[in-house]
Structure formats: C-alpha cells, structure tokens
Structure 1
C-alpha cells in the first residue's frame, strides 16, 4: 500500500509542479524568462521520490485535512527542497556535477542561472502557500508560511548548510553533528509532518506529536544517507558517493561506526512509530513510510 501511495502522490505532485512552472503568468507577474523557467524545471521535474510532499499529504490525511491544500503545500515544500539542492550543488558549496542521475543545474545551464533558479524556487514556495488557491483560512496559511520559514532559514536548513561548510575545516563532535543534521536535513522533514497537522487542525497536541515524528525520521533519513554514502555506488544513488569522507567531514557513521549507526537507525524508527500508536490503523501508511526512510537504497 505504501509504495502505491508514494507513486500516486509523486504523480500528483509532478503534475502540479509542471503546471506551477509553466509559462502562464500569475497576477502581478510581468514576464517569465524562458531560460530561467527551463532551469527551474530542470531542477524540479527530474524525478525524485517526492517524500516530503508525501509526508505533508499523509499527515494531513491522517487528521482529515483538505487533500488539495495539502498537495499545494507539498508542492511548495518540494520547490524549496529543490532550491536547496541547486544551491548546495554549486561550486562554492558542494561542487557536484550529478543530481538524480542528471547534470546539476549549474552544469546544464550556468552558475548564475542556477543561483537565480534557486532564488526563484525559494520565493515560489511561499507564493504557493500564500496564494488563495491554497484553500485554507488565512491564519492557517500564515502559520504554514511561518513554520516553513523557520525550518528553511538561519535556524533551520540554511543554518545547517553553514555548519556543514564549517565542518569541512573542523569536524564537529557528536552533539555538533546531531545539531547540524537536525538543521540541514531534518528541519524540512520535520516541517513536512507538522504541516499536515497545521493544515488539518488547530489542536496543538497533534502538531507537537507529528512534529516530533518528523524530527525522528529526519534524523533517521540523514543516518541512512550517511550509510548509503559509505556503502552505495553512484549509479544506484544518482549522485556522487564518498563525499564526506573525501572532505574529512565528520558523520555519526564515521564517528561511531557502521554497526552503531545501523542500531541507532532501528532505535529512531521504533521511537517514531511509537508516536503514531494513538492513531491506530489509520497511521499504517506513515509507519511504512518511517520504515522506508531507514531501508531505502537511494
């Protein structure tokens, strides 16, 4: 059921993103430069599991939230996630040539276009949530915009990328690695799960429970990623492997060992699943999603 739902969601997200990144002007826009739009489409419409939108939609579904609004919020989150990948791949950052098995945006186009494509995707993410087509009360849209800004900004993903760059010069200790990863990778996954609750209900208990679930699978996602960086090949992963080791950048896997990391991954997933117990059978897809995070191969 999980894999079917993941594929269905990915197709829905792909269709909406294709529409959002089209040539039609929105009210207030003056023009959409073709090269810029082509670079944005290259960054976004190149496959991917669409795990973050999936989590938005499934957590909203769990609590009876509006499916169309959840799809739009998920698409917004995917735009923001893809912006971060475009900028992370730049020569000044991770200097990667390959993403999802295709040339990165600065390779397919050029660095300046890649920067502008990332800027535009970041801005578009907030546009999508704030727009009236996201049929939620204004206060809920504002809550979603604020939560995404906090997850993506200096105290979240962007700050985590800064810490990641600093880690190339001085490897952090275990606590520093956990903080870095919670920000760079975990913050958007945490938002994805919290967003479904924000869409569906004003009940803070649901918000906090699903936010905690997202934080745990965010930690698990990064730990699984570090294990894949150690064990997978580039063809399977769709991007370069062994990068962290090549830059002497500390990870929990390098610090604590593969066996510890695999055991910790199991512990994190068990803790995440335990948070879903109050939802009973309704949470089965999210339980399978948590296990997928730990067991994925790309």
Structure 2
C-alpha cells in the first residue's frame, strides 16, 4: 500500500489520536495567548471531540484543502448541529463567535485553522505507519494482498484443471461404455480343504448378508457373461439331508448363446455375499456344455 492509501485506511482509533494531537496543539496555542478555556482532550465534551474528529476526517479526505476550507467545514458541521453566531462562546445555547466567514476571523483564530491542518498532515503518515504492520521491512498488508492474488490465481488454475479432468473423465466413460463387457475373473482356483467353508458356515454367512449373488464360471475361472448372475434372497437356500448347501427353488433357467457364438462351458459356481467372495466351487457333475438355442435349469446344479 502507498502512504496515501495507508492514510485513507486509518482506523477510527488512529483518527482519534490525530484529533487529540491537533486539539492539544490548539489548546497550547490559545493558552499562550492567555485563553485557558480549552480543556484537556480527556475532559473535552462530546461535541468538541466530535468536531475535532470531523476536522481530521475532512483533511484526510481532502489533503489539498486550505485553512479557509477547514473553517468552512467546521462551520458546516456546527450549523448542522444547530450552532449560531454569538459574541460569547456558549455551548449550552450553541453560540460561537467564530460562526463567521474565514476572512472575518481574527488573525489568531485563522492561525488556529492553520495549526490544526498542519498537525493533521504531519501526524497522519506517522500514525498510518504505526497501524501498518511490517515484517523485516515488508508491508504485511502488501504481502497479504500479494498472497491473496496468488491464491486467487491458483484457484482459477485449479478450476480450469478440474474442468479438464471432468471432460477427460467423461470421455473415458464414453469410451468404456462402447467397450464390450469384461468378465470377472475368479481364477484363484476352487475353494478346497480348510479354505472351503462347510454348509453351516455358508448358511450363517448367507443369513447375515443383505444380498446373495450366484455367478457361473468357465474352466478358466472366468465369469460366463451369457449366463447372467442371479441375486437371490437368503431364504432361497437350505442344507439338504447330505449336509450340502443347495437351492430350495425349483427353477433357475438359463439360455444358451446365439447361433454364431461359442457354446458355454459351465464349470463352476461363485457365491458372493454383499459383493464379497464367499466361495468358488466346481459344478458337481463336471463341465456342462450349453449350446446355442439350448435351455437349461440350473436349480439342481447349485449344490455346494
């Protein structure tokens, strides 16, 4: 910030300090003339404090204003507050002998405006400097403003990059939508030995699950896309008299591929609960080939 900007940005406290200094200078001046009517700043009535502050604000906003303009501003405020001309100063009746044009003021009163103006312009830069913090000679306000500009520029850059990422993501999704679906792989092998849960453990997991999915795999452990996964409720499963998990429902139809497609090689069953792999087991009867145009009921094949 420039000195002028610092002065215009003075806080109310800073303006009051300048007003107090100007008041003290005028008080000392009048006392040198034998006039002890001016009180100390701490004892000054509200109207006098307000008048001094108004004078400071006027000169800060109008740095080129002369002594006569200072007096005219003072008279304007006094008139607005109901003051009139009087031979003797009477705050209660709001009378003041200086309520006349500047050129009709006695020289000592004209000097008062000159002193007031000089004090304001001499002290304002000092007070502004005290109010403007610096670190190692750097104006903190300038530093903060520069940082804010950098932050705003970074935000704009990030917004532009975000827009580019969004566009690229949309393009990628559009391309992926055009790709043929890819089968899920369960090529880790079938669950055997201690890794294979028994029917009771499977039933417990099914009972606790919100969703049970059956997926059918080929000899390589890949999902057979033509045999769509089936989502079944927990009550669709039961343990048979041989201690095996099986389906209670009697119908689970599947249709073979199109005429120009290879037959399905149904080799295994995958069970997922809430999206998590529970078991991958081979079909009891071995690999079943389902050719084009064929229909097959899988209900009897789900035996785990």
Shorter-chain TM-score: what band?
under 0.3
* Richer in strand (by share): 2
Specify the structure having the higher radius of gyration (Cα). 2
TM-score scaled to structure 2, two decimals? 0.23
Larger relative contact order (Cα-Cα within 8 Å, sequence gap ≥ 6)? 1
The structure carrying a bigger helix percent of its residues is 1
